[in-house]
Chains A and B, each alone.
Chain A
Amino acid sequence: MKSDIVLAGVGGQGILTIAAIIGQAAVSQGIQVKQSEVHGMAQRGGSVVAHLRLSSAPVKSDLIELGTAHVVLGMEPMEALRQLPYLSAKGVLLANTTPIRNIGDYPELELILGELRKFPRTAVMDADEMAKTAGSPRAANMVLLGAISNFLELPAGLLTDAIRKMFARKGEEIVQANLKAFDAGRTLTANL
């Protein structure tokens, strides 16, 4: 088993939460993990990226080689596009369509989405809207976690258990909203 995942977003969007949930689940299965994160200045609203590597054999490099990632997951469309060079030809691209326009010259959204859709195995989704529908506008990252769950050799139950644990102190309503968000993402990519 070997899975290289690039997670992209803007500082504060919760990509490290996605990485942490997957990473912990993998460790509990005896899988070897390396998970490279961005801390520090870039977390202040800049581009952030995390490399998550899972393998049954020991993982050497903390960083993924360009053109070899099995999945690129973008919490934001332009950030997904930025990390596209990491994706292998057979790889899966998962991206949120809701832009974060915290820069002056943000390109036209349709052009970005057009670039993303050119990729053979792509699922673009309005994760923010799906999260709202699920009952928690802040659960867009759980939609993406659900979307990627179909491409991980991990039991989905481990991921949902982690979600339950993570949000337990915020009450059952929030837990359920996050689980619904997860399911919405998972359903969307079931046949990709």
Chain B
Amino acid sequence: MSVKLLLGDEAFAQGVLDAGVSGCYAYPGTPSTEIMEYFQASQEAALRNVHRSWSCNEKVAMEEALGMSFAGKRAVVCMKHVGLNVAADGFVNAAITGTNGGLLVAAADDPSMHSSQNEQDSRFYAQFAMIPCLEPASQQEAYDMAAYAFELSEKQEIPVLLRFTTRLSHSRANVQLREKKPENTLRLPENARRFVLLPAIARQNYSKLCDKQAVFAASSENSPWNLYYEGTDKSLGIVCTGLAFNYVQEAFAGKCPYPILKISQYPLPKEKLKKLIQDCKQIMVVEEGMPFVEQQLRGPLGNSRILGRLSGVLPRIGELNPRIIREAFKLTLPETPAAAELLRNRPPRLCDGCPHSNTYDALNEACKDFPGSKVFGDIGCYTLGALPPYNAISTCVDMGASISMAKGAADAGLQAAIAVIGDSTFTHSGMTGLLDAVWENSPITILIVDNDTTGMTGGQDSLGSGRLDDICKGIGVAPEHLRVIIPLPKNLAGNVEVLKEEIAYRGLSVVIARRECIQTLRKKK
């Protein structure tokens, strides 16, 4: 079996492929994107015709994967942490229906918010949905856990959540590949009625799910991923979850005097935890992300024996790193050259030649005629329009919020309310907001910045490609207030005029600013 140098995301994708998956479903989102991209680049996935096209959003992806599971085959659905908010309805209810073919949900969290609007921790979602959760500590575990998770899923007829974090998703390491398993054949569930969540059936299912909790707990207790390492100094015991285990090992150079409980499968392994807590005076909880385990151990009254992010020994927010761990354990710190005062921040910016920059130039110019106007932004490269030199947008909250927030503000009497949304974000979650605005003929202007790709995550397919005008018309936008502009410097004056006309119109209008992303254009050359 060969060794490959793989990102955490890729290792998981290869593991899933080798475990006989039949379909991967996803919407791009940092740091999860590379899972699907690995499938799309894989010759083997192509030969087997494993499903590997992007879905229009995470909820759709989740339901498609559940459908494949219903049909008896193994499926995986991948998203970034906030994508799980979008998929939550299907996700939580898939735990109630249960699964048929194995179903894995991979959610990649982004502590420190490198490319995200919050640092929510997906382990809470697994607990909420009452399903098992696996949190790989290494790329090899990400690979090995795929087959393990499918077996757990099929044995317990339950979706399994795999929680990734940025530093694992986007770090490469040697990964040893193992034996391949064949795909499942089409096999419908023996009791298909359990997929009908009418209250009478749902109540039965929910009761069964509650009964399964003891089985999940036993699985965690005996899990090969939850390991107890003895130590000689019992003044302190350490709980490490996922990736945090690596930092602790590194800090102590493999010679940690304290007992360590490494946790990579949830629900929490109660007996192992009990042993650590009974054996040791104090407990340090080291976890990447929110204080999920620490909070449970501290309890509502705050047990002072439990140290970690909540006690203040570790920072409350942000990702871990080797220095933070050394400081928490009061280990000697290597001397470091001081950071130079000369340094200036270098935030990301729109690329030279980016169509969005021309669009923002036109929008800023047009808005000068509408002093009370506000521009509601959305998620994508164009969010960078919030920064100088554009300072063009006032909000960025979640996928699709530009349109719905502009409508709400217009409902409140704001004049003029303008939404800026990318083509991929529009088909992800903007179309439903547009229908609301059409229904009420809200006096808002929606500027769809159509660069024909999902740009921020690296240029994935945009499912509305070539049919945005038809989608808008089909939803009910009046053809005379559906305008298309080409954002180029030479068109500035004309584009400003079009925008002014539509912003002045006291009804719903859509302006599509259409020019291909400069990055995808370059790649084609």
A81 to B341 Cα, complex, angstroms: 10
Is residue A185 contacting chain B, with contact meaning CB distance below 8 A? no
| A61-B246, A67-B337, A84-B340 known; A44-B351 Cβ under 8 A | yes
In the assembled complex, which residues on chain A have CB atoms less than 8 Å from the CB atom of B115? 39-42
CB distance from B99 to the nearest CB of A (A): 31
Is residue A132 contacting chain B, with contact meaning CB distance below 8 A? no
Question: Across the interface, do B456 and A47 meet the contact criterion of CB distance under 8 Å?
Answer: no
A78 to B348 Cα, complex, angstroms: 15
Is residue A173 contacting chain B, with contact meaning CB distance below 8 A? no
Question: Across the interface, do A40 and B344 meet the contact criterion of CB distance under 8 Å?
Answer: no
Is residue A171 contacting chain B, with contact meaning CB distance below 8 A? no
Question: Across the interface, do A38 and B114 meet the contact criterion of CB distance under 8 Å?
Answer: yes
Query: How many A residues are at the interface, by size bracket?
Result: 35 or more
The residue in chain B whose Cβ has the minimal distance to the Cβ of A81 is B340
A89 to B34 Cα, complex, angstroms: 37
In the assembled complex, which residues on chain A have CB atoms less than 8 Å from the CB atom of B349? 44-46, 102
Which one of B323, B337, B457 has the highest number of Cβ atoms from chain A below 10 Å of its Cβ? Answer: B337
A33 to B168 Cα, complex, angstroms: 13
Chain B 161-194 residues near chain A, CB threshold 8 A: 167-168, 170-174
A87 to B336 Cα, complex, angstroms: 7
Is residue B385 contacting chain A, with contact meaning CB distance below 8 A? no
| A41-B114, A44-B349, A61-B247 known; A67-B333 Cβ under 8 A | yes
Question: Across the interface, do B334 and A78 meet the contact criterion of CB distance under 8 Å?
Answer: no
Type the 1/0 row for B105-140, where 1 means its CB is closer than 8 Å to any CB of A: 000000000110000000000000000000000000
How many A-B pairs have beta carbons closer than 8 Å: the answer is 152
Question: Across the interface, do A85 and B321 meet the contact criterion of CB distance under 8 Å?
Answer: no
Question: Across the interface, do A61 and B174 meet the contact criterion of CB distance under 8 Å?
Answer: no
Question: Across the interface, do A39 and B458 meet the contact criterion of CB distance under 8 Å?
Answer: yes
Is residue B326 contacting chain A, with contact meaning CB distance below 8 A? yes
Is residue A152 contacting chain B, with contact meaning CB distance below 8 A? no
A88 to B337 Cα, complex, angstroms: 8
Question: Across the interface, do A66 and B336 meet the contact criterion of CB distance under 8 Å?
Answer: yes
A102 to B344 Cα, complex, angstroms: 11
CB distance from A42 to the nearest CB of B (A): 5
A residues within 8 Å of B by Cβ?
Answer: 10-11, 23-24, 27, 32-47, 59-68, 78-79, 81-82, 84-89, 102-107, 111-112, 115, 119
B residues within 8 Å of A by Cβ?
Answer: 3-5, 7, 30-31, 33-34, 114-115, 167-168, 170-174, 243, 246-247, 249-250, 254, 321-323, 326, 333-340, 342-351, 381, 384, 388, 456-458
| Sampled A-B contacts (23; CB under 8 Å) | A10-B346, A27-B4, A33-B5, A35-B173, A36-B171, A36-B172, A37-B171, A38-B114, A40-B457, A41-B456, A44-B348, A46-B349, A60-B254, A61-B246, A61-B322, A62-B167, A63-B247, A63-B321, A66-B322, A67-B335, A103-B347, A106-B344, A107-B344
